[in-house]
Structure 1
Amino acid sequence: MGALNTTKTKLSNSNLLFLIAAVIFVLMYVFAIISFPRSFLQFQTFFDLFNLNAALIIMTLGLSIVMIVGGIDISIGSVCGLVTMACAMLLESDVGSVWGALLLALGIGIAFGLLHGYLIAYLDIQPFIITLAGLFLAKGLVTTLHKDPINVTMQAFVKLRDFKMVIPWLGTKNRLGVFIPCEIKPGVIVVVVLVVLFAALMKWSRFGRNVYAVGGNSQSALMLGINVKRTIFFSYVICGLTSGIAGFVFIMTTGAGNIGNGALFEIKAIASNVIGGILLNGGVGNLLGAPIGTLTLLIINELIRAAGVQSNYQAIISGLLLYLFIVMQSVVMSLRGRREFRLALLAPWLRLPGMKKAEN
C-alpha cells in the first residue's frame, strides 16, 4: 500500500483518546498499588470501586451518549436523587413492591428524558438551560415529597440490598491467614450489562453512527439524510433512562432515600467522560471511556484520601487534574490535526513513480 493509504489504518480520534485514558488509568492504579500496597493490592478494593459507585458509572454511560451527540445534561444527579426518594416512599408504603419501585424509577427517568429531548431537539432550546430547569424541578420535587431520610425496611428489598455474589476463587487473606473471597453487588451486574449493550449500540447500530455524525457536524449529517432531531431526542431519552436506573441502583446500595442522594453526580459524570476521552464539543469519544474515566477519577480520590489529605483539598486536586486532562486532549487533537493537514498538502508529491505497483 502507498504512503497515503497507510494513514487510513491509524487510530481514530475516539480510539486514540480512549487509549490514552486507559493507559492513564493503568498507571494511576499501579502507582496506587506501589504507594499503598496493603489497600490496593486487595482484589476487593478494586471491586468496591464498582460496588460503591455503580450508580455513578451508569449515569456516566448515559451522559456520554449525550456528550458525543454534542449536548449536555446537568440534571442527572438531581433526577437520581428524586428517584431514590420516590422509590423509598413507595417501598415503605402499604402497596410497595420491588418491581413497582423499579418501574417507578424507570418511569421518572424516561419522563425527564422525554421532556428534555423534546424541548432541546424539536424546539431547539439550549441544552444547558433546559437541563438546568430539570435540575431545579427534580430538586424541588425531592424536598416536596419528603425532607427527612427514609430507611427502607421492606424485607424483600433488604434481601436484594444485602445480596452479594461471591467469587470463591478470587480473594485475599486477612492478617490471621483466613481467605476472604471477593463479593460483587447486583449494581455491578447492571453496570456490565449496560456497558455491553451501549457499546454494541454505539458501534454497530445505525443510531450509534448517527450520534457520531450529528455530534461531528449536524449540518453535514442533515445533508446525508440523517434525522438530526430524532437522534438528539433519543440521546436524551437514553440519558434519562440511565438516570432512573442509576437511582434504583443507588437506593439498592444505600438502602435509604435522602435529599442529598446524587448530589454533584452530574459534575462527576461530566469530569469522568472528559477524562475518558469524550470531547465536550461532540463527535469524538469512545463509550468505554466513560467507565474508565469514572474509575480514574475514583482512584485519584482514593489516593488523596489514603494520603491523609484534608477533604477540602480533594476537590482542588481533582479540579487541577481535570484542567490537565482537558489541556492534554486539546494538545493531542491539535497536533493530530496539524499532521493530517501537512499530509493533505503533501499528497500530490507522495505518489512516487513506483507507487502504482505497490498500491496494486
Structure 2
Amino acid sequence: MTAVETEKAPRNAVFAGIDTFVNRHASVLPTVAAAVILSVLLVGANIRFDGRFLTPGNISALLLNNAFLMVLAVGMTFVIVTAGIDLSVGSVMGFTGILGASMLSGGVPAIVVIPTMLVAGALIGLLIGVLVQYFNVQPFIASLAGLFLGRGLAYVVSLNSIRVEDPVVLWLQTTRFRLGDWYITPTGIIALVVVAIGALVMQYTRFGRTVYAVGGSESSAELMGLKVARTKVMVYVISGLCGGLAGLLLTAFSGAGYPRYGIGTELDVIATVVIGGTLLAGGRGYVLGSMIGVFVFATITTIISFMGAEQSWTHIIVGGLLLLFIVVQRAIVARTSRTG
C-alpha cells in the first residue's frame, strides 16, 4: 500500500462511519438540528442584548406566552406522523374559547364548562377523522371543512369579545409558582404535561407504534393486522381535543373569548412541528421535537420584540427555516431510500 493510500484509508473510514451514523439516526437529525438552532438563537440573542435575554423572567415567559401553541403542536404531531394534516386547530381553539367564555358569562360553573370545551374540540376532530377514513376525503379538504365549521360556530356563539371573570379559569394564568426568579403558571404545567403524555404515548404504547406504522406505509400496516382505521380517526380526535384544551389555555391567558382568536395559528403550528423534525410525508417525528420547534418560534418572536422590529419578520424568518427543514428532510429521505 502506498503512502497516499495509507493516508486515504483513515479518511475513508471516518466518512464511512459518518454515513453509517447518519443512516442509523436519520429520523432524529432534524430534531437535533432544531435543538442546535434554538441554542444558537438563545446564545446569539444574549450576546446581542448584552446578557439581558437569557434571564429567568424572559425564559419563563417563553412557556407562559406559548402554552396553547405547544398543546396544539402535540396534537398536530400525531396527525402529521400519519401523513395527514389538520387545518382546523386554530378555528377549533377560537370556537371552544368563545364557547367557554359565553357559558361562563351565563353562570355555568367551570367544572361543566371545561369538559364541554374539550368535548367540543374532540367532536370536530372526530368529524374530520371520519371524513378522512370512511369517506376518503383528502385530509387537507376535510380539515379545511373543519376550519370553516369551527370558525362559523364561533361566530354563531358571539360576534364580540366576551370577558372571562371566573376565578377558576383565571387562576390558570394568574398563579405563579416561583423558584427564585424563575416561575411557571398552571397553563405552562398543563402544556408540559400534555407534551410528556404525548411523548410517552408515541414512543411506548401500541397505539403510538401504530401511528408510526400508518405514516410509514398504510398498506403495510393493514397487512400486519394493525387497526389502521381506528388509529387514523383517533389522531384527529386527539388533535381536536388538544384544540379544545388550547382554547381553554388561550382564554385563561387573554382573560376573554373572541371568535377571531386562532386565525392563522394552524400555519404556525404546522411550521413548529416541521421545524421540530416531523416529516410531512409521515412516518417520522417526535413530540419533544415539536416542543423544541415551539421554543424556536417563541424565541424568534421574542428577539424581534427586543429589537423593536415589525412582527412580520417572525413569519419571514420562520418561513425561511421551514423551507430549510423541508429541504433537509427531503435530502435525508432520498439518502435513506438509496441506502435502503
SS at match of 2:229: helix
Q: Paired residue for 1:35, among 36, 41, 48?
A: 48
Partner of 1:178: none
Partner of 1:230: 230
Confirm or deny: 8 A CA contact 1:107 1:244 kept in the other structure.
yes
Aligned counterparts, 1:273-284, within 5 A: 273-284=273-284
Measure how far apart 1:71 and its partner are.
Answer: 0.3
SS at match of 1:39: coil
Partner of 1:307: 307
1:141/1:303 CA distance change after superposition, 3 Å: same
CA separation in 2, counterparts of 1:10 and 1:320? 26
Partner of 1:213: 213
Aligned counterparts, 1:63-78, within 5 A: 63-78=76-91
Partner of 2:293: 293
Aligned counterparts, 1:146-161, within 5 A: 146-161=158-173
Aligned counterparts, 1:45-56, within 5 A: 45-56=58-69
Q: How many corresponding residue pairs?
A: 324
- 1:283-317 deviation digits (Å, cap 9, x = unpaired): 01122111101111121222233223223333223
Segments of structure 1 that go 5 or more residues without pairing to the other structure are 172-181, 342-360
1:336/1:223 CA distance change after superposition, 3 Å: closer
CA separation in 2, counterparts of 1:307 and 1:329? 31
Q: Which amino acid aligns with 1:81?
A: G
Segments of structure 2 that go 5 or more residues without pairing to the other structure are 1-15
Partner of 2:174: 162
Partner of 1:265: 265
Deviates more, 1:152-161 or 1:112-121: 152-161
Partner of 1:137: 149
Q: Paired residue for 1:115, among 127, 140, 153?
A: 127
Confirm or deny: 8 A CA contact 2:172 2:187 kept in the other structure.
no
Confirm or deny: 8 A CA contact 2:68 2:250 kept in the other structure.
yes
SS at match of 2:287: coil
1:156/1:269 CA distance change after superposition, 3 Å: closer
Partner of 2:93: 80
Using structure 2 for the length normalisation, give the TM-score. Answer: 0.89
Using structure 1 for the length normalisation, give the TM-score. Answer: 0.85
CA separation in 2, counterparts of 1:9 and 1:20? 13
Confirm or deny: 8 A CA contact 1:13 1:285 kept in the other structure.
no
What is the percentage of aligned positions where both structures have the same residue?
36
CA separation in 2, counterparts of 1:332 and 1:301? 29
CA separation in 2, counterparts of 1:19 and 1:156? 39
**Quick check: which has more Rg, 1 or 2?**
1
Measure how far apart 1:207 and its partner are.
Answer: 0.6
Q: Which amino acid aligns with 1:61?
A: V
Confirm or deny: 8 A CA contact 1:13 1:284 kept in the other structure.
no
SS at match of 1:166: strand
- 1:323-352 deviation digits (Å, cap 9, x = unpaired): 1222222233334444x25xxxxxxxxxxx
Q: Which amino acid aligns with 2:273?
A: N
1:20/1:321 CA distance change after superposition, 3 Å: closer
Measure how far apart 1:38 and its partner are.
Answer: 4.4
Confirm or deny: 8 A CA contact 2:78 2:239 kept in the other structure.
yes
Deviates more, 1:29-38 or 1:243-252: 29-38
SS at match of 1:221: helix
Aligned counterparts, 1:309-328, within 5 A: 309-328=309-328
Confirm or deny: 8 A CA contact 2:154 2:259 kept in the other structure.
yes
1:25/1:336 CA distance change after superposition, 3 Å: farther
Measure how far apart 1:34 and its partner are.
Answer: 1.4
Deviates more, 1:82-91 or 1:114-123: 114-123
Confirm or deny: 8 A CA contact 1:79 1:244 kept in the other structure.
yes
1:27/1:225 CA distance change after superposition, 3 Å: same
CA separation in 1, counterparts of 2:275 and 2:245? 23
CA separation in 2, counterparts of 1:215 and 1:158? 39
